[in-house]
Amino acid sequence: MKKLMNAIVKPTAGPGLELRQVPVPVPGPGEVLIKVHKTAICGTDVHIYNWDPWAVQHIKPPMTIGHEYVGEIAQLGPGVKDFTVGQLVSGEGHLTCGHCRNCLNGDIQWCKDTVSVGVDRDGAFAEYVCIPATNLVAVDESLPEDVVAFFDAFGNAAHTALMWNLVGEDVLITGAGPIGMIAAGICRHAGARRVVITDTNDYRLDLARKMGADRAVNITRDDLRQVMKELHIMEGFDVGLEMSGNGAALKQMFTVMRNGGCISLLGISNVPVDIDMNEIIGRGLRLQGIYGRKMDNWHQMSYMVQGGLDLTPIITHRFHYTDFEKGFAAMNSGMSGKVVLDWTQE
Ligand SMILES: [Zn+2]
Ligand SMILES: [Zn+2]
């Protein structure tokens, strides 16, 4: 008889999620079974919960969702070496082909055949999750598990922010969601001169301020150019991190960058955005699209936390996994940072 476990499942095509009993996965050759300790809710999970057009296109129910987690190795599949049962781990959520041009070059974030945990295959909002050993990330026991639970999102922020030199630079972040808040902390930690973040949500701007943003600007009220003047940002921002997926925010960013400024784009837009090509060309702006994380970002994240980067201010809610509905309600309210679910207690 198959062993059963609790899992948060998208049962059918439509809004909502359900706590269900599903079989504990059995690790095949090269795979590892992880006993989940903590998980965090990502914006992607909220899309899936709400069953928006993105979810309709990408999710095939029934399936277990979730991709931000920390846990311990419960079982090694045949042939897995270099890891031990009981070891603390997280996992890179993008399973890559390993043999396309980008994979061979170490740029796994650009693999041509990516499969995502909790989107394309069963995820981590369960008592156990199974992934290939190649995607395992060993976690130092000194790191707080509540924070490691959202290293996946931290990795998006690190990938976006660390694309450019930040030391002594003035940085504009558009979008104060959890990834924007984390990016503010990274830029501060990495030695930026000024960190300015924009959004329309005062609750989230306040959390970004706690993470080290010099100014958290509500663009419905405040004048960004006036803020720049007050901060002595004379020729424009050196680095721009677009994390809102909002076309108007991106267009505003173009106008306040210095000539030759560097922009990374993480926020995904639901609608086409028309941009002024001539502004990018004439002002020599450098643009970089960001997807996922580099494996090296995992190391940088651990070391930044050990070096003093404190991400605990953005954890606003903690629930037992059976209270997942409360977690999704908090995320949908907009009045939240990261929501962490505990899977360690019965
Ligand atoms: Zn995520
Ligand atoms: Zn590949």
Q: Residue 346 above 90 pLDDT?
A: no
Same domain for 253 and 144: no
Q: Are residues 38 and 55 in the same domain?
A: yes
| Tokens linked to 139 | 């976690």
Is 306 a member of any domain?
A: no
Per-chain mean pLDDT for the chain = 97
User: Any idea what the CATH number is for the domain that residue 31 is in?
Assistant: 3.90.180.10
What integer pLDDT is reported at residue 312 of this predicted model? 98
183 and 280 fall within a common domain: yes
In this prediction, residue 282 carries a pLDDT of 95
Q: Is residue 136 part of a domain?
A: yes
Number of H helices, E strands in the chain: 12, 18
- Domain assignment present for residue 228? The answer is yes
Nearest ligand, CA 48? 1
Are 239 and 324 within one domain?
no
State the Cα–Cα distance between residues 333 and 319, nearest whole angstrom: 16
Neighbours of 129 (CB within 10 A): 29
Pair 57, 182 in one domain: no
Residue 133 lies in a domain: yes
User: What per-residue confidence (pLDDT) applies to 1?
Assistant: 66
Going from the Cα of 302 to the center of ligand 2, the distance in angstroms, rounded, reads: 25
Is 44 one of the annotated active-site residues of the chain? yes
Q: Are residues 72 and 28 in the same domain?
A: yes
Instruction: Answer for the pair 18, 11: CB distance below 8 angstroms, yes or no.
Output: yes
Same domain for 21 and 78?
A: yes
Q: What is the CATH number of the domain that holds 196?
A: 3.40.50.720
Q: What angle do CA 49, 53, 59 make, to 5 degrees?
A: 60
Query: Would the pLDDT of 143 be above 80?
Result: yes
Q: Which two tokens stand for residue 59?
A: 């999710």
- What's the 111 CA to ligand 2 centre distance in angstroms? 4
In a domain, 102, yes or no: yes
Structure tokens at 249: 């925010």
Question: Cis bond leading into 62, ω under 30°?
Answer: yes
How far is residue 57's CA from residue 54's CA, in Å, rounded to a whole number? 5
User: Which of 118-122, 196-200, 324-328, 342-346 is predicted least confidently?
Assistant: 342-346
Encode pLDDT of 176-213 as tens digits. Answer: 999 999 999 999 999 999 999 999 999 999 999 999 99
On whether both 279 and 326 belong to a single domain, the answer is no
In a shared domain, residues 31 and 124: yes
Q: 210 and 249: one domain? A: yes
pLDDT tens digits, 255-309:
999 999 999 999 998 889 999 999 999 999 999 999 999 999 999 999 999 999 9
Residues sharing a CB contact under 8 Å with residue 257, sequence separation 6 or more, in sequence order: 172, 236, 237, 238, 240, 263, 283, 285
Q: Which residues span the domain enclosing 250?
A: 156-289
Confidence (pLDDT) at 270: 81
Identify the nearest ligand to the CA of 66 by its number: 1
Using pLDDT thresholds of 50, 70 and 90, give the confidence band for residue 169. very high
Question: Tokens representing 250?
Answer: 């991106």
Asked whether residue 87 falls in the same domain as residue 188, the answer is no
Alpha-helical regions (H) of the chain: 43-50, 53-58, 101-104, 145-148, 151-161, 178-189, 202-210, 224-230, 247-256, 277-282, 295-306, 324-333
- 302 belongs to a structural domain: no
User: Mean of the pLDDT values across residues 240-266?
Assistant: 97
| Number of domains composing the chain | 2
Among all bound ligands, the one having the nearest atom to the CA of 42 is 1
Quick one: 121 and 144 in the same domain? Answer: yes
CB-based contact 186:308 (threshold 8 Å): no
Whether 317 is a known active-site residue: answer: no
192 Cβ neighbours under 8 A, 6+ residues apart: 166, 167, 168, 169, 170, 171, 239
Whether 9 is in a domain gets the answer yes
Cα–Cα distance measured from residue 263 to residue 253, given in angstroms and rounded to the nearest whole number: 9
Nearest to 241 by CA among 194, 303, 174: 174
Among candidate residues 12, 37, 39, 47, the one labeled active-site is 47
Instruction: Evaluate whether residue 20 is within a structural domain.
Output: yes
How far apart are the CA of 209 and the centre of ligand 1, in A?
Answer: 22
Residue tagged active-site, from 37, 39, 44, 96: 44
